[in-house]
């Protein structure tokens, strides 16, 4: 898998525990940490079983690499299956080995990385981080690069989802869902032509900056990390706080954060979104991680005005 300072092409997999804060709320900090540790150990063991290498844990996720794109998807499927099969005991679903089972979401990207003292670096790692954050609980999302590097005899079922962008990375990234349950037919759905026909434009304004979400750029991310399209570096903003995406002409805000997102439409009641999604319409203001104040602090940049035309 490469040596220090060398660049090599690998499949990069992030497997993240969905809504892990609930584990700590229900079990307490110490017990919650033990549960999360057991889950990450289980996911790590499955990585090794499919000839992968666990690079590190990042929060409540593992970062792993595979020489083979096919092995990365097989490992992801095995992880999702392992988190579903078990028995309930004292309100917690357990595997046959006694590992607590929860929902996880997985993102995979294939690309060049630099190996350095057991860690990996490069744009491909940032892309993989964007992909896992896009995935929903129980979902495996992979980039086109991952799909393109599968063996010719691969029998994985896929479904086209959308295109996204990543900060400081040129071009758009096509995303596919890997179907990990029994399917009778291959599902490959390309909604790009339909999107083009129905698409309007969403304009997001922050200070003098204007960001457009439309057919050409159908999705953006907002958060604290530098790889987001909109970077907001405050303590109340999550690493990847929210997505805004065009779904066939409907603009959806999808909150992924701890503190939630507040939407203030010009002609409707305010809406609080936390770990969910809500459509945007007309004009209004979006405040990330906190409520709108009567007199907004102009020095803060955690607010976006929006206008759909």
> pLDDT category, 98, cuts 50, 70, 90?
low
Q: Which is more confident, 11 or 226?
A: 11
pLDDT tens readout for residues 230-242: 999 999 999 999 9
Q: Is residue 189 part of a domain?
A: no
Q: Is residue 185 part of a domain?
A: no
Give the span between the Cα atoms of 246 and 139, in whole angstroms.
20
Closest CA to 138 of 178, 108, 176, 185: 178
Predicted local confidence at residue 27, as pLDDT: 75
Same domain, 136 and 216: no
Q: Which is more confident, 9 or 172?
A: 9
Q: Is residue 184 part of a domain?
A: no
Residue 189 has pLDDT above 80, yes or no: no
Specify the CATH number for the domain of residue 73. 3.30.70.1230
Predicted local confidence at residue 38, as pLDDT: 86
> pLDDT category, 191, cuts 50, 70, 90?
very low
CB atoms inside a 10 Å sphere around CB 153:
6
Q: Count of domains in the chain?
A: 2
Specify the CATH number for the domain of residue 245. 2.60.200.20
Q: Is residue 72 part of a domain?
A: yes
Residue 250 has pLDDT above 80, yes or no: yes
Q: Is residue 187 part of a domain?
A: no
Same domain, 63 and 161: yes
Residue where one domain finishes, among candidates 179, 207, 226: 179
Structural domain range at position 88:
7-179
Structure pTM? 0.62
pLDDT tens readout for residues 195-227: 444 458 999 998 888 999 987 788 999 999 888
């Amino acid at each position: 898998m490469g040596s220090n300072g060398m660049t090599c092409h690998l499949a990069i997999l992030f497997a993240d525990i969905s809504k892990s804060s609930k584990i700590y709320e229900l079990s307490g900090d110490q017990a919650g940490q033990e549960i999360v540790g057991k889950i990450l150990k289980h996911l790590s063991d499955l990585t090794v079983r499919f000839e992968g290498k666990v690079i590190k844990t990042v929060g409540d996720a593992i970062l792993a690499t595979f020489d083979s794109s096919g092995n990365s998807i097989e490992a992801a499927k095995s992880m999702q299956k392992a988190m579903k099969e078990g028995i309930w005991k004292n309100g917690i679903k357990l595997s046959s080995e006694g590992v607590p089972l929860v929902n996880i979401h997985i993102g995979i990207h294939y690309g060049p990385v630099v190996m350095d003292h057991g860690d990996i670096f490069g744009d491909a790692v940032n892309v993989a981080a964007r992909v896992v954050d896009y995935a929903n609980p129980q979902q495996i999302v992979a980039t086109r690069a991952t799909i393109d590097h599968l063996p010719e005899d691969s029998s994985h079922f896929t479904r086209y989802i959308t295109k996204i962008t990543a900060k400081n990375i040129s071009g758009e990234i096509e995303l596919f869902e890997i179907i990990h349950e029994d399917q009778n037919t291959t599902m490959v759905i390309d909604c790009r032509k339909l999107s083009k026909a129905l698409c309007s434009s969403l304009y997001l304004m922050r200070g003098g900056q204007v960001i457009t979400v439309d057919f050409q750029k159908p999705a953006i991310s907002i958060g604290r990390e530098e790889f987001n399209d909109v970077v907001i570096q405050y303590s109340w903003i999550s690493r990847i706080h929210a997505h805004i995406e065009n779904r066939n002409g409907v603009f959806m805000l999808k909150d992924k954060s701890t503190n939630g997102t507040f939407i203030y439409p010009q002609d409707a009641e305010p809406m609080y979104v936390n770990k969910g999604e809500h459509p945007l319409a007309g004009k209004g203001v979006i405040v990330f991680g906190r409520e709108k104040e009567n007199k907004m602090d102009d020095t803060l940049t955690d607010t976006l005005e929006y206008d759909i035309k």
